[in-house]
Chain A
Amino acid sequence: MQGTKIAAAPVADPLGQQARRRATGLRAFFARLMRTRMAPVASLIIALVVLCAVFAPIIAPYGVEEGDFAATLTRPNREHLMGTDTLGRDVFSRVIYGSRVSLQVGVIAVGIAMIIGTALGLIAGYTRIGLLESTIMRAMDALLAFPTLVLALAITAALGPSLTNVMIAVGIVGIPGYARLVRGQVLSVREREFIEAARTIGVSDLRIMWRHILPNVTAPLIVQASLGVAFAILSEASLSFLGLGVQPPTPSWGAMLSFGKDYLNHAPWMAIAPGAAIFVTVLAFNFLGDGIRDALDPHLHR
Chain B
Amino acid sequence: MVRYILRRILAMLPVLFLVSVIVFSLIHLTPGDPAITMLGEEATPEAVAALRAKLGLDQPLPVQYLRWVGSVLQGDLGRSIRSNQPVSEAIAQRLPVTLELAILSVLIGVAIAIPVGIVSAMRRNSPLDTASTGVALLGVSLPNFFLAILLIFIFSIHLRWLPPIGYTPLADGIVDNIKRMLMPAITLGTALSAIVMRMTRSSLLEVLDQDYVRTARAKGLTEMRMIRVHALKNSLIPVATVVGLQIGGLLGGAIITETIFALPGIGRLLVDSIFQRDFPLVQGVVLFTSLAFLVVNLLVDLLYAFLDPRIRYS
Instruction: Spell out A's residues near B (CB within 8 Å).
Output: 134, 138-139, 141-143, 145-151, 153-155, 157-160, 230, 234, 237-238, 241-244, 254, 257-258, 260-261, 264-265, 268, 271-272, 275-276, 278-279, 282-283, 286
Contact = CB atoms under 8 A, between A and B. Distances in A.
A149 B149 contact: no
Q: Is chain B's binding surface mostly helix, strand, loop or mixed?
A: helix
Q: Which 5 A-B pairs have the closest CB atoms?
A: A142-B18, A147-B252, A149-B252, A158-B29, A275-B146
10 contacts: A145-B19, A146-B286, A147-B252, A147-B289, A148-B249, A154-B23, A237-B145, A244-B274, A264-B157, A279-B141
A282 B146 CA distance: 12
A265 B145 contact: no
B255 A237 contact: no
A159 B260 CA distance: 24
Contacts of B249: 147-148
A157 B75 CA distance: 24
Nearest to A237: B143
Contacts of B145: 237-238, 241, 254, 257-258, 275
A275 B30 contact: no
B290 A145 contact: yes
B14 A138 contact: yes
Given A153-B271, A237-B143, A138 B27 contact: no
Nearest to A146: B290
B15 A141 contact: yes
Interface in B213-229: none
A237 B141 CA distance: 13
Contacts of B311: none
Given A145-B290, A158-B30, 20 more contacts: A143-B22, A145-B19, A145-B293, A146-B22, A146-B289, A148-B252, A149-B256, A150-B252, A153-B274, A155-B26, A158-B27, A241-B145, A260-B149, A264-B152, A272-B149, A272-B150, A275-B149, A278-B146, A279-B141, A282-B141
Given A157-B26, A265-B157, A150 B255 contact: yes
Contact of A278 (B30, B143, B270): B143
Interface of B: 14-15, 18-19, 21-23, 26-27, 29-31, 137-138, 140-143, 145-146, 149-150, 152-153, 157, 248-249, 251-253, 255-256, 259-260, 270-271, 274-275, 282, 286, 289-290, 293-294
A271 B148 CA distance: 11
A218 to B, nearest CB: 25
Contacts of A283: 137-138, 141
A150 B26 contact: no
Given A150-B289, A155-B29, A286 B152 contact: no
A143 B18 CA distance: 9
Nearest to A244: B274
Nearest to B164: A264
A272 B152 CA distance: 12
Nearest to B294: A145
A113 B143 CA distance: 22
B251 A147 contact: yes
A194 to B, nearest CB: 30
B271 A264 contact: no
Contacts of A257: 145-146, 149
B248 A147 contact: yes
B104 to A, nearest CB: 18
Contacts of A242: 255-256, 259, 271
Given A243-B275, A275-B150, A150 B286 contact: yes
Contacts of A278: 143, 146
Contacts of B137: 283, 286
A259 B117 CA distance: 37
A57 to B, nearest CB: 27
A160 B270 contact: no
A230 B142 CA distance: 11
Q: Which of B152, B274, B293 has the most CB of A within 10 A?
A: B274
Contacts of A142: 15, 18-19, 21-22
B271 A139 contact: no
A80 B282 CA distance: 42
A55 to B, nearest CB: 26
Given A157-B274, A242-B259, A145 B149 contact: no
Given A141-B15, A146-B289, A234-B143, A159 B29 contact: yes
A63 B44 CA distance: 43
B246 to A, nearest CB: 11
Contacts of A282: 141, 143
B142 A149 contact: no
Contacts of B289: 146-147, 150
Contacts of A148: 249, 252
A160 B271 CA distance: 13
Q: Which of A147, A261, A282 has the most CB of B within 10 A?
A: A147
A160 B30 contact: yes
B143 A145 contact: no
B15 A145 contact: yes
B24 to A, nearest CB: 11
A194 B253 CA distance: 46
Nearest to A266: B157
